[in-house]
Chain A
Amino acid sequence: MRRVDLVEFAIESMRKHPSRSILSVSGVVAGTFALSLSIAIGLGIERAVVERFRRDDTLRKIQVYDNDAFKDEDFPPDVLKVEGKMSEAKRKRILKGIRRDYSSESMIRRHIALTPEMLERIARIPRVRSIYPHTSNRFRASLGGIEFDVDAASVAPGDREIKERLVAGKAFDTLADPGVVVHEYLLYRWGFRGDDEVKKAIGAKIILHSKTKRDENHFVISFLDDLKRKGKPLGALEEATLYSLIARSPSLFEELKLTTAERSLLKMLIEHFTPRVARTLEKDRVVELTIKGVVMEGDENQRSSWGSNFQASYADILLSVGKSAELFLQKDGARSEGFGSAVAIVDREEDVEAVAKEIEKLGLFKFSLAKVIEELRTTILLIAIGIGLIALGMLFVACIGIANTMIMSVLQRTREIGILKAVGASDRDVRRLFLFEGGTIGFIGAAIGLSLSLLAEAPGNAIIRMVTPRNSDLPLDATYFTYPVWMLIGVPALVTTIALVAAYIPAVRASRMDPVQSLRYE
């Protein structure tokens, strides 16, 4: 028998019992719908998530931190002694406490710092495209003679969050952009209040002093505040005297009748309680920068994007990473203390792991999203597989329905089978006849189920958008459904195959019927 005829027979048989056919096809439709939808959503959400991170360099970024773990060699041997009988785990915990305790007293430095030299070493790791540090500084900023202490944070070019916050001007184009982006509130305090005035601020020059008001006055200010609280504020003259006293104190100590040891101890004591007084002696470095852009207050609920400086979301002024690092390194001791963090960008996502390992070998801490994303993807896929398994279960039930339909069909068509055999149909012909009927039910069900799942894309996206929070990072314009070609072909193929398996036993049963008996059957 030719295939077209077998299909025609199958359709004719289904038409003969419309309600029975509709029921068994419906089961297949439901199963196929659930199966293809779970695949489409699983892949779709997975893709949306990956794409969300792929929009910028997120997945190619590695955050690098200095390693503040201590090295035992830096401690005197007798310090790192734990007494008493205890487990090894507890010994380690106690040692950790001892190290922390001792180091804060004796100024043992963090062991591996993110010095400029270290950044160069990382930059030399193969497949590292670039690396830049994130720094935060405090300055005294002045514009038109009005001075404020400001927090400054570094921003990399292309930072999405900054671009979104921009109200005037531009963000940074290059890593070492010499301009400055200021917070609208700082401009407000400087007198640029109306919207027009804010626009006029672009191109204005601000002066940054490395010495803040706070650096100069911290100890004195808290002393003055204290007196004010107590109701005995100092007068202007007294205040001036106090400043000159502090300025003169190193030389004053010389004049006191003290032994050298006493003098140095006293000096240490003063410095200990007023560490910033020592900074008073530092030179004030001044730099002039041009305002390039203005940003609004950052949204606290919005996570800053991966690899950006989280301090940028509330800083008064923003500097390019290069300029910020340059100013940071001018501070005393900054070169050896190193940066707090840096961002390395590798050539391709696949390189992240290898490069991260190299960075770890340098003794630094590193963190990349690649692994997190990988885990997220796996989770999404696992959920999709879970739903898919349920869908397969539904298909299984649907196939029991098909088997049931087929058994009924075989029984009802016993005489027809006898007739077919009498006119010359072989066992194989009869078997194929029923296999085609099962397969046709499966295929029609699969086609309808798949089409329904394709139609579900638009309403499905609408629902997902409705339940996704507004400030979510996930793209709201994209689709969350993916229908790969392998699925469009594979799902109907699989469903039809399952239907064929379900029809197999009834089909074999039909083919083995004795024609003489069948012809007698009423």
Chain B
Amino acid sequence: MIDSSFSGVRLIEVEKTYGEIDSERVVALNRVSLSFREGERISIEGKSGSGKSTLLNLLGGLDRPTSGRIEVGDRAIDRLKPDELARYRLEKVGMIFQSYNLIPSRTAIQNVELPLIVAGVCKNDRRERAVKALEKVGLEKRLNHRPAQLSGGESQRVAIARALVNDPRVVLADEPTGNLDSATARAVVEMLVEQVAASRACLIVVTHDRDLARRCAERLIRIEDGSIIEDYFI
């Protein structure tokens, strides 16, 4: 699944506006141009409503830009047909959310298996891979627990395992520690960085926490009102 031709991510003049009528129009992203190298770790910060999640959703193929171009590897994902975009999400992207987004009725391992089920991996293989992914985040003893039986940190580790089980090229984390206390947050982020580093994927983390940002990223981007106002290497 590793794309040998993968050479980072490029955003060219990406604009995202919401609302059809002029009076309700919100410019969430304003002609953003950025590029990330393969294996680069970026932290994004900005005030609430500045467009961080919008940027991540575009990169994750959950949404499309109003205009502009997004290239991931050799693919222009803004041009992809819906099916191809789904395939892109499946094969290249791993997403982690503040609210974990685990399916409550499924156990930890079943949640981690989700991308593999969608990919059509057979039962034995996907079980093996899911167990491995959970072992890597230290949850080998929690395989059959449901989200309600897991702590916040454990839940987010399950989510990380799920995001990484398909060996993605881009890992997107939208305030992954927002619901966690600082100690747990640090542990989770360290775990995330460790995992991503091993696979040489591109990691983009949205966080308000400067300290955390320094721990996980080598590059820091600040957004305000949909525009990049700061972009530097730590």
Give chain A's interface residues, CB within 8 Å of chain B: 1-2, 4-5, 12, 16, 415-416, 418-429, 514-516, 519
Contact = CB atoms under 8 A, between A and B. Distances in A.
A419 B86 contact: no
A423 B118 contact: yes
Given A426-B87, A516-B62, A519-B97, 15 more contacts: A5-B120, A12-B105, A16-B105, A419-B101, A419-B102, A419-B103, A419-B114, A422-B95, A422-B101, A423-B90, A423-B114, A424-B86, A426-B82, A515-B63, A516-B57
A392 B119 CA distance: 39
B154 interface: no
A5 B122 CA distance: 9
A418 to B, nearest CB: 7
B60 interface: yes
Contact of B90 (A415, A416, A424, A516): A424
Contact of B118 (A12, A418, A429): A429
A416 B105 CA distance: 10
Interface string B91-117: 101010100011101100000001101
Given A422-B62, A422-B89, A416 B82 contact: no
Nearest to B84: A426
B83 interface: yes
Contacts of B86: 421, 424-427, 429
Contacts of A428: 83
Contact of A421 (B62, B123, B166): B62
B70 to A, nearest CB: 15
Contacts of B57: 516
A207 to B, nearest CB: 94
B162 interface: yes
Nearest to A415: B101
A170 B103 CA distance: 83
Contacts of A514: 63
A186 to B, nearest CB: 86
Nearest to A512: B82
Contacts of A419: 101-103, 114
Contacts of A519: 62, 97, 101
Given A419-B101, A515-B62, A519-B101, A425 B95 contact: no
Contacts of B115: 423-424
Contacts of A416: 103
A421 B93 CA distance: 12
A426 B90 CA distance: 9
Interface of B: 57, 60, 62-63, 82-83, 86-87, 89-91, 93, 95, 97, 101-103, 105-106, 114-115, 117-120, 122-123, 162, 166
Of listed B60, B91, B103, B166, residue having the most chain A CB within 10 A: B103
A416 to B, nearest CB: 5
Given A1-B120, A429-B86, A519-B97, A423 B105 contact: no
A427 B120 CA distance: 15
Contacts of B87: 424, 426
B110 to A, nearest CB: 9
16 contacts: A1-B120, A2-B120, A4-B123, A5-B120, A16-B105, A420-B118, A423-B90, A423-B114, A424-B86, A424-B89, A424-B90, A424-B115, A424-B166, A426-B82, A429-B86, A516-B62
Given A421-B62, A516-B63, A426 B83 contact: yes
Given A515-B62, A516-B57, A516-B62, A425 B101 contact: no
Contacts of B117: 1-2, 5
A224 B35 CA distance: 137
A1 B63 contact: no
B89 A421 contact: yes
Contact of A427 (B82, B97, B166): B82
A290 B146 CA distance: 95
Query: What are the 5 tightest A-B residue pairs by CB atom distance, in nearest-first order?
Result: A424-B90, A426-B86, A423-B115, A424-B89, A515-B62
A447 B109 CA distance: 32
Nearest to B126: A5
A421 B90 CA distance: 9
Nearest to B86: A426
B60 A422 contact: yes
Contacts of B63: 514-516
A93 to B, nearest CB: 81
A415 B60 CA distance: 17
Contact of A425 (B105, B118, B122): B118
B143 to A, nearest CB: 17
Contact of A424 (B82, B91, B101): B91
A223 B211 CA distance: 141
A5 B113 CA distance: 11
A443 B50 CA distance: 50
A20 to B, nearest CB: 14
Nearest to A519: B101
B169 to A, nearest CB: 13
A12 B102 CA distance: 16
Nearest to B106: A12
Of listed A5, A415, A424, residue having the most chain B CB within 10 A: A424
Contacts of B93: 424
Contacts of A5: 117, 120
A1 B91 CA distance: 14
A423 B82 contact: no
A45 B86 CA distance: 56
Contact of B89 (A4, A12, A423, A516): A423
